[in-house]
Amino acid sequence: MTGRDAETGRVISGAREEFGSRLQQAVADGSLVRLTLGGPQGGDATLRQLSVRPVRLRAGPRLAFVWRHETRDVTKNHPPDEALAQLGELIGHRFATAHLFTTSATVHLEFRPNRPPQLHVGPPTESAQPLSTGQSHDRDKARPIPAQTGWLSALGVTTAEGKVRAGMEAKFRQINRFVELLAPLLGEAPLPAEGPLGLVDMGCGKGYLTFAAHDCLRRMTGRPVQVRGVEARPELVALSNRAAHESGLEGLEFVAGNIADTPLEHTHILVALHACDTATDDALARGVAAEAALLLVAPCCHKEVRPQLVPPPALAEALRHGIFRERQAEFVTDALRAALLEWAGYTTNVMEFISPEHTGKNLLITAVKRTRPFDREAAARRVRELAALYGVRRQALASRLGFDLAAP
């Protein structure tokens, strides 16, 4: 297959080969910043992503492979030649998407069934930094959003000199974790092939993660983007718009509005992070109705379901403990949300996010719209069995989607 390099205009023959040769070159000349493989195929169902970055150990240069699983990360370091050989076997076989970040380009390779692989070459991330000589593995973490990124300082996460401000370390880590989770999903979701990509962040607060989504979307796709943060508090909207303007970011705006009725035309990705209680359900239902290709929500409190729970009798003894009752309410609510999204035509994943606060509420539910037929009745049965097991009769997402939990 042939394509054209958007950056240099030269003709590319063989997307996989082109990607491989760019990767090899970047490893050889030290311009590699990071490689992310997503869309795992078959094998270990808990595997989510492989992230690769250069590190310098006492034994010499290595590529650190971080295998991200649902609940744990496994890191292994490999000499460059061995690492490249392994990656050649993984890309397009074990993983359906690959994102390469170098100091001169961002390269995205995607495999879809019955279609030739697609290669997109875009400009480098404005702040991509290779691992400079002498930096140790521990000190230099190649983050997708490095501390020198301009908008981080406009938001007060970093100083003008690019140092993370005291007290903002957790926020900085959360921003980066969010981008690590979002980036591979952009290759998996059935986003439109052309035209601007629309993302709405519902209940965006001070907009930290809206800026992160805008940065990630623009860099990963190289396409025009329209990112909108929707927030009930106008004073936060004004601050975020000022920071976007100061940072010279196009396609990023903040509006005062309500999750339940904000307009959603041209929304391909919907995000709602830590929106209170059933505001998460409002956001999800709006995303489903808008036929968004990708949904990401981090649920917050779980008040609605808790008083309804009549757990199986075998759990009565364990549920004497308040913390288990609390966790059970979270589990049942979020498991129902994921099951309802499956019924609504999405494939879902639940994974660990990072909360900047000291709280256990740190889940991210992701949902990618299906493009193939699926057994909707079986999905409906699974929702009703789960609701019946815990005696749940009412749940906001079910109501918003018109799903009757009690139907026979």
Ligand X SMILES: C[S@@+](CC[C@H](N)C(=O)[O-])C[C@H]1O[C@@H](n2cnc3c(N)ncnc32)[C@H](O)[C@@H]1O
Query: Contact positions toward ligand X, by CB under 6 A?
Result: 203-205, 208-209, 230-233, 258-259, 273-276, 279
In the bound complex, which residue of the shown chain has the CB atom lying closest to ligand X?
205
In the complex, least distance from residue 98 CB atom to ligand X, rounded to whole angstroms: 29
Q: Which residue lies nearer to ligand X by CB, 146 or 203?
A: 203
In the complex, least distance from residue 248 CB atom to ligand X, rounded to whole angstroms: 23
For 241, the token pair is 């718009």
In the complex, least distance from residue 258 CB atom to ligand X, rounded to whole angstroms: 4
In the complex, least distance from residue 234 CB atom to ligand X, rounded to whole angstroms: 10
Q: Which residue lies nearer to ligand X by CB, 186 or 209?
A: 209
Residue type at 251 in one-letter notation: G
**What DSSP string describes 349-387?**
EEEE---SSS-S--EEEEEEE--S---HHHHHHHHHHHH
In the complex, least distance from residue 29 CB atom to ligand X, rounded to whole angstroms: 38
Contact by Cβ (8 Å): 356, 339: no
Q: Which residue lies nearer to ligand X by CB, 35 or 237?
A: 237
Q: Which residue lies nearer to ligand X by CB, 208 or 346?
A: 208
Q: Which residue lies nearer to ligand X by CB, 353 or 403?
A: 353
Contact by Cβ (8 Å): 129, 148: yes
Cα–Cα distance between 233 and 363 in angstroms, integer?
A: 24
* Closest alpha carbon to 144 in 157, 125, 158, 168: 125
Q: Which residue lies nearer to ligand X by CB, 97 or 333?
A: 333
Long-range contacts of 20-29 (CB under 8 A, 24+ apart): 20/88, 20/91, 22/100, 22/102, 22/105, 22/107, 23/84, 23/87, 23/100, 24/84, 26/100, 26/102, 27/54, 27/63, 27/80, 27/83, 27/84, 28/80
Q: Which residue lies nearer to ligand X by CB, 337 or 382?
A: 337
In the complex, least distance from residue 129 CB atom to ligand X, rounded to whole angstroms: 26
Cα–Cα distance between 25 and 258 in angstroms, integer?
A: 49
Contact by Cβ (8 Å): 249, 225: no
In the complex, least distance from residue 367 CB atom to ligand X, rounded to whole angstroms: 17
